């Protein structure tokens, strides 16, 4: 079956540009997560949606980062005025429900390079 | 606060050797979940195991086994008779049983199995 997909897989942006990263979760999955993975590090939580509601955005590093999931399925992570420290792999994950006993299934990630 | 520590940054062994990946966690919660994920070169995180803090029984799945010791806050992962295909970065993660649903990851251990 189809897993979590993300697009684009690679993105190069010049410093100051805005970028939008897309996540298509597994069909029917209620919960959706975004994580940021810097080179050589573990993923770090950015934000969490249950359906269209953004229940936790405590991990967003600044107000330049914005995420939405307007219809409760596809999600977009937007980064405004990109900076070099934003260079990382952005991982999206979905789970069928929001409870802690449900696995999060990860997509392949979008590698963002800011030059 | 929650924290996961994987002290081994890199491990390199020869094929067929046994190898143990260490994971130590910190949490003030009495109930929580622990996870192991594998990240092959393709980048996608692959779920390996989930363990509830109530269940301290060790688990074996083929060549993989996990040792959960609540008294020492450790959740170690052993691969028996390692194979080249086991080469990847392995992450240990912690998740609360209530409240925030995010995964808190360790920094990962890069495992290289040499033929």
Per-residue pLDDT of chain A (115 residues; tens, 9 = 90+): 589 999 999 999 999 999 999 999 999 999 999 999 999 999 999 999 999 999 999 999 999 999 999 999 999 999 999 999 999 999 999 999 877 778 899 999 999 999 9
Res B10: pLDDT: 97
Residue of B nearest to A100 (CA): B97
Q: Using CB atoms and an 8 Å cut-off, which of residues 70-99 of chain B contact chain A?
A: 91, 93, 95-98
- B107, A33: Cβ pair inside 8 Å? no
Res B99: pLDDT: 74
Nearest by CB to residue B95, choosing from A44, A59, A100, is A100
Strands (E), B29-108: 32-39, 46-52, 59-61, 64-69, 74-79, 88-96, 104-105
Specify the DSSP class assigned to residue B2: -
Q: Which residues of A touch B98 (CB under 8 A)?
A: 100
Res B100: pLDDT: 72
CB B47 within 8 A of CB B37: yes
For the beta carbon of residue B97, count every other beta carbon within 10 angstroms.
Answer: 16
Please tell me the distance from the alpha carbon of residue B52 to that of residue A100, in angstroms, as a whole number: 9
Q: A44 to chain B nearest CA, in Å?
A: 7
């Amino acid at each position: 079956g189809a897993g979590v997909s993300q697009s684009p897989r690679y993105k190069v942006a010049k410093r100051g540009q805005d970028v939008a990263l897309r996540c298509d979760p597994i069909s029917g999955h209620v919960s959706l997560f975004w994580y940021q993975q810097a080179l050589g590090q573990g993923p770090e939580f950015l934000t969490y949606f249950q359906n269209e509601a953004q229940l936790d955005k405590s991990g967003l590093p600044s107000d330049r980062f914005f995420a939405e999931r307007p219809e409760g399925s596809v999600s977009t992570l937007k980064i405004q005025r990109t900076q070099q420290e934003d260079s990382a792999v952005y991982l999206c994950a979905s789970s069928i429900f929001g409870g802690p006993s449900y696995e999060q299934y990860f997509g392949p990630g979008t590698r963002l390079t800011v030059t | 606060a929650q924290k996961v520590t994987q002290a081994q940054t890199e491990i390199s062994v020869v094929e067929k050797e046994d190898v143990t990946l260490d994971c130590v966690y910190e949490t003030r919660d009495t109930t929580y979940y622990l996870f192991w994920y594998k990240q092959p070169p393709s980048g996608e995180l692959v779920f390996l195991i989930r363990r509830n803090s109530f269940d301290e029984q060790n688990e074996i799945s083929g060549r993989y086994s996990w040792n959960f010791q609540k008294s020492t806050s450790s959740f170690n992962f052993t691969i028996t008779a390692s194979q080249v295909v086991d080469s990847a970065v392995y992450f240990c993660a912690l998740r609360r049983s209530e409240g925030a649903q995010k995964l808190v990851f360790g920094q990962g251990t890069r495992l290289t199995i040499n033929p």
